[in-house]
């Protein structure tokens, strides 16, 4: 579940990073940390004013090149523009952080919003990973970091006050990110390209201030009332995991062996492949 790959080389030889969801939260903080390390940036988000302010500040403070790509990645034409940029030869890191939640009872949710959640959280992440990887493999260096959520592992927890939100589609999309990224990391394990799955829990950002139909208004990032882990700690963990070659980064997990136990449990379930029918089903219709 982990490997000593190309993390240190990627971070210590700055190139250009494409950062989605860059106007707030994990994407915003990641851009800040990368700029301080000397990385040039391509910042992607819906809020043009925020991107412009952030880009100007990072240029002034760190002397790096910062491109602004305002885009709603749930829209096909916008996604195609960003994918074209992610596939260029100067891109050595892609952070897929853009996401919306679409929280609410599934049977009552607006179908258009749910389609947008899937398009952004699943399709955009997949397309941008696919756009960037061929060049990275050809050049022999690079990294893709895909941001999931611990809600991807909350399937048997019913929504409750103070507990998990009503999240069937959001949790499902993050489950896709978990499975896709883990399998992709295994596929590329013998290459110089590093793929990281970042699984934060509740993080102190503005993510819960909107379901995602429209971005949070204003030019300054905010923090939702629920609080959570400081976003700087989440990004610190991810960068440390890149340096160590750790493929699955759970910033608040004290016991890394829990990830290995998950893999063991999955292996036990997979033993049913091709097996005889389980006894408890033999008396069914």
Domains and CATH numbers, the chain: 7-281 (3.40.50.720)
CB burial of residue 131 (10 Å; 0-12, 13-18, 19+): buried
Question: Annotated active-site positions, please?
Answer: 170
Other C-beta atoms within 10 Å of 227: how many? 11
β 66-70/193-198 pair status: unpaired
- In order along its 285 residues, the chain shows pLDDT tens digits of 433 344 447 898 999 999 999 999 999 999 999 999 999 999 999 999 999 999 999 999 999 999 999 999 999 999 999 999 999 999 999 999 999 999 999 999 999 999 999 999 999 999 999 999 999 999 999 999 999 999 999 988 888 877 778 899 999 999 999 999 999 999 999 999 999 999 999 998 878 777 767 777 777 777 887 879 999 999 999 999 999 999 999 999 999 899 999 999 999 999 999 889 999 898 866
| 281 Cβ contact partners less than 8 Å away, ≥ 6 residues apart | none
- Rounded Cα–Cα distance for residues 251 and 163 (Å): 20
**Between 76-86 and 125-139, two packed helices, what is the crossing angle to 10 degrees?**
20
Please give the pLDDT value at position 5.
Answer: 40
- Rounded Cα–Cα distance for residues 243 and 238 (Å): 9
Report which DSSP code applies to 108: G
CA angle 37, 43, 46 (to 5 degrees): 150
β 142-147/40-45 pair status: unpaired
Would you call 175 helix, strand, or coil by DSSP? helix
73 and 121 in contact (C-beta within 8 Å)?
A: no
168 and 109 in contact (C-beta within 8 Å)?
A: no
- Rounded Cα–Cα distance for residues 214 and 210 (Å): 7
CA angle 43, 49, 52 (to 5 degrees): 45
CA angle 174, 250, 45 (to 5 degrees): 50
Report which DSSP code applies to 75: S
């Amino acid at each position: 579940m982990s490997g000593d790959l190309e993390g240190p080389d990627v971070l210590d030889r700055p190139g250009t990073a494409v950062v989605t969801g860059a106007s707030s939260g994990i994407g915003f903080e990641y851009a800040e940390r990368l700029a301080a390390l000397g990385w040039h940036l391509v910042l992607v988000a819906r809020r043009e004013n925020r991107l412009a302010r952030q880009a100007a500040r990072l240029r002034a403070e760190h002397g790096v090149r910062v491109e602004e790509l305002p885009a709603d990645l749930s829209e096909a034409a916008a996604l195609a523009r960003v994918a074209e940029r992610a596939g260029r030869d100067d891109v050595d890191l892609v952070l897929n952080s853009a996401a919306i939640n679409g929280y609410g009872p599934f049977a009552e949710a607006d179908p258009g919003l749910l389609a947008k959640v899937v398009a952004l959280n699943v399709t955009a992440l997949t397309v941008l990973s696919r756009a960037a990887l061929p060049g990275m493999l050809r050049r022999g260096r690079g990294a893709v970091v895909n941001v999931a959520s611990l809600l991807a592992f909350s399937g048997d927890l019913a929504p409750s006050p103070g507990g998990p939100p009503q999240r069937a589609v959001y949790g499902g999309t993050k489950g896709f990110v978990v499975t896709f990224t883990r399998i992709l990391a295994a596929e590329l394990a013998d290459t110089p390209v590093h793929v990281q799955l970042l699984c934060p829990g509740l993080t102190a950002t503005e993510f819960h201030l909107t379901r995602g139909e429209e971005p949070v208004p204003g030019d300054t990032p905010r923090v939702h009332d629920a609080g959570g882990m400081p976003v700087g700690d989440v990004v610190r963990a991810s960068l440390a995991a890149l340096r160590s070659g750790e493929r699955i980064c759970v910033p608040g997990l004290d016991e890394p062996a829990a990830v290995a136990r998950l893999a063991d449990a999955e292996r036990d379930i997979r033993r049913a492949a091709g097996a005889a029918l389980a006894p408890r089903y033999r008396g069914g219709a």
